[in-house]
């Protein structure tokens, strides 16, 4: 709990020895529970049990509103503690009870919180569509209450779902919305979390410098807040990135620091993540026995906790180790399990990783084949998985998405600067645009009037005696001017539909010229004929 010192916790503990109303006693026990959530989970659970013993909750439907609110909060906090240790079944059950109680009151804030946390558990168990549904419902309620903290949390969680399924464009939109709300409310911890998540997106898009920039910004903020859990997560991400950039010594230092924090906190899910990252380090160092050891430790925890979304990564990593140890039968076994789970989850990102390792495995099998037909079949399999990898990679990361992500980041920075500088620059720009449009409209009107006069003059020339050469010149000049004027008018549309490509622009110009040419010929021959009569 932010801002809760040891002295203030002691004073709260001493208050429990006083004569208190049941409601106030429960409130203090809740505060003590959350203050100890990560520092001392067992003590946090003890405070929560005491809070739930204050009243008889066996028939909560008949309780008064205040007591039901406290009970809903108790179940919510119990869900937090279950989630922290990876007991997602009990966490989901407790969040669901909290939701039922909050809906019976009704308590909009309690409903929104319960839905948001139900979404978190669904995402961890691989039910992404159900997670999004819970988040969206929670967001609607938070927006109706103008609960900016709740809205920021929902946007962050929605972003995590989109990031997991490889929809990086939508993920970044949600993270920047969350970042903006947390910036407005001064939520430093939330800002740090957003920076971390934005860094993860840039890392997935292979923009390592940008990712590292956001991770380091996140770490500075989170260390200032002192939230050990999020510090460890960010250290893990920095370690991964430094390893990718070739700074292996600093990378492993970050990973072991993160592991130490998570072991102190007792967060099994995060310990599994640290084991996986340390396994990556040893794999890169070609210490395959140590690498396999850490990967298997990570997999065991993930399977025990039922973290379906994280299991494919470990299976694929173990498959990679077995390629290096030349145990290709085991490689294919692990990869097949990984692919089945990835496809069930609908995760392009996880499937892409598995396709890549399948390709490597079949290439090695082909090289070791003893017959031509066997070699040919294995190369064919390798090619098929390479095509799947490239197609999946293209759908995850392409130039247009990268540009859009850049625009989204720029838009966030732009909006923040506008708020700071009272929008004066924007108003000046709008005035310039309006004046430019007014000037262009006047010029277009003047040119149109001139063209009308010119063609009117050509029509009047039919009644005069004018040399043929002059007639040809007037007609040619008039249609040339008409052609150029039409190009000016159509240029924005031509630019849009041709996407700025020279060949596309030339094609549009050729079509326009082909349409004008018969008209030019008709006017010229008609005028010559009238003058010759």
Q: Whole-model pTM?
A: 0.60
DSSP secondary structure code for residue 308 in this structure: G
Q: Which residues, 6 or more positions from 87, have their beta carbon under 8 angstroms from its beta carbon?
A: 305
The residue among 60, 113, 117 whose CA lies nearest residue 83 is: 117
Distance of CA 290 to the CA centre of its chain: 33
Instruction: Give the C-alpha separation, 66 to 69, whole Å.
Output: 5
**Encoded tokens for 52:** 């739930």
One DSSP character per residue, 28-75 reads: HHHHHHHHTTTT-HHHHHHHHHHHHHSS--TTGGGS-HHHHHHHHHHH
Mark 344-368 as b/e (b = at least 16 C-beta within 10 Å): ebebbbbbbbbbbbbbbbbbbbbee
Q: Helix, strand or coil for residue 85?
A: coil
Instruction: Give the C-alpha separation, 474 to 459, whole Å.
Output: 11
Instruction: Give the C-alpha separation, 170 to 135, whole Å.
Output: 14
DSSP secondary structure code for residue 370 in this structure: S
Instruction: Give the C-alpha separation, 516 to 524, whole Å.
Output: 12
Cα→Cα distances 322→361, 386, 389, 520, Å? 9, 19, 20, 76
Kindly state the greatest CA–CA separation across the chain. Answer: 120
Residue-level pLDDT, tens digit, the chain, 533 residues: 444 556 677 788 888 888 888 889 999 999 999 988 877 888 999 999 999 888 666 677 777 888 889 999 999 999 999 988 778 889 999 999 999 999 999 999 999 999 999 999 998 888 888 999 999 999 999 999 999 999 999 999 999 999 888 888 899 999 999 999 999 999 999 999 999 999 999 988 888 888 999 999 999 999 888 878 889 989 988 998 888 888 888 889 999 999 999 898 888 888 999 999 999 999 988 999 999 999 999 999 999 888 888 899 999 999 999 999 999 999 999 999 999 998 888 877 788 889 989 989 998 898 898 888 888 888 888 888 888 888 876 665 554 455 555 555 555 554 454 344 434 444 454 455 456 656 666 666 666 666 666 666 666 655 556 566 665 666 666 667 776 767 666 666 666 566 556 666 677 777 777 777 777 676 667 666 665 55
Cα→Cα distances 502→156, 506, 509, Å? 42, 6, 11
């Amino acid at each position: 709990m932010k801002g809760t010192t040891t002295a203030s916790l002691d004073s709260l503990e001493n208050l429990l020895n006083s004569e208190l109303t049941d409601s106030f006693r429960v409130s203090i026990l809740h505060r003590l529970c959350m203050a100890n959530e990560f520092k001392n989970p067992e003590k946090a659970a003890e405070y929560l049990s005491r809070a739930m013993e204050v009243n008889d909750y066996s028939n909560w439907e008949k309780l008064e509103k205040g007591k039901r609110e406290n009970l809903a909060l108790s179940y919510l906090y119990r869900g937090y503690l279950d989630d922290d240790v990876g007991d997602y079944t009990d966490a989901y059950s407790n969040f669901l009870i909290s939701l039922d109680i909050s809906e019976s009151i009704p308590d909009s804030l309690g409903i929104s919180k319960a839905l948001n946390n139900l979404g978190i558990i669904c995402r961890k168990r691989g039910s992404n569509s159900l997670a999004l549904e819970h988040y969206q419902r929670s967001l609607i309620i938070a927006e109706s209450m103008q609960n900016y903290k709740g809205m920021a949390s929902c946007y962050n969680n929605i972003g995590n779902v989109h990031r997991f399924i490889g929809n990086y464009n939508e993920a970044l939109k949600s993270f920047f919305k969350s970042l903006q709300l947390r910036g407005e409310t001064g939520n430093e911890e939330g800002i740090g979390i957003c920076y971390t998540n934005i860094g993860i997106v840039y890392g997935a898009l292979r923009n390592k410098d940008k990712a590292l920039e956001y991770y380091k910004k996140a770490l500075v903020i989170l260390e200032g807040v002192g939230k050990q859990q999020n510090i460890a997560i960010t250290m893990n991400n920095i370690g991964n990135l430094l390893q990718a950039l070739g700074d292996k010594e600093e990378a492993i230092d970050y990973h072991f620091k993160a592991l130490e924090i998570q072991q102190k906190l007792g967060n099994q899910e995060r310990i599994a993540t640290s084991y996986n990252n340390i396994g990556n380090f040893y794999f890169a160092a070609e210490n395959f026995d140590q690498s396999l050891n850490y990967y298997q430790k990570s997999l065991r925890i993930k399977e025990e906790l039922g973290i379906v979304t994280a299991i494919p990564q470990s299976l694929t990593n173990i498959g990679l180790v077995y390629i290096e140890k030349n145990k290709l039968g085991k490689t294919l076994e692990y990869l097949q399990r990984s692919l089945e789970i990835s496809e069930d989850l609908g995760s392009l990102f996880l499937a892409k990783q598995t396709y890549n390792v399948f390709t490597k495995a079949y290439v090695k099998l082909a090289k070791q084949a003893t017959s031509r037909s066997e070699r040919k079949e294995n190369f064919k399999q390798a090619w098929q998985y390479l095509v799947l990898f490239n197609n999946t990679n293209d759908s995850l990361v392409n130039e247009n998405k990268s540009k859009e992500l850049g625009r989204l980041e720029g838009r966030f920075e732009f909006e923040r600067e506008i708020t700071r500088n009272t929008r004066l620059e924007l108003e000046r720009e709008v005035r310039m645009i309006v004046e430019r449009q007014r000037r262009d409209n006047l010029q277009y009107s003047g040119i149109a009037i001139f063209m009308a006069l010119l063609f009117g003059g050509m029509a009047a020339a039919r009644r005069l005696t004018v040399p043929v050469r002059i007639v040809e010149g007037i007609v040619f000049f008039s249609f040339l001017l008409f052609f150029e004027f039409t190009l000016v008018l159509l240029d924005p549309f031509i630019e849009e539909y041709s996407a700025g490509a020279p060949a596309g622009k030339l094609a549009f110009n050729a079509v326009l010229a082909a349409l004008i040419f018969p008209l030019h010929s008709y006017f010229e021959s008609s005028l010559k004929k009238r003058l010759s009569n």
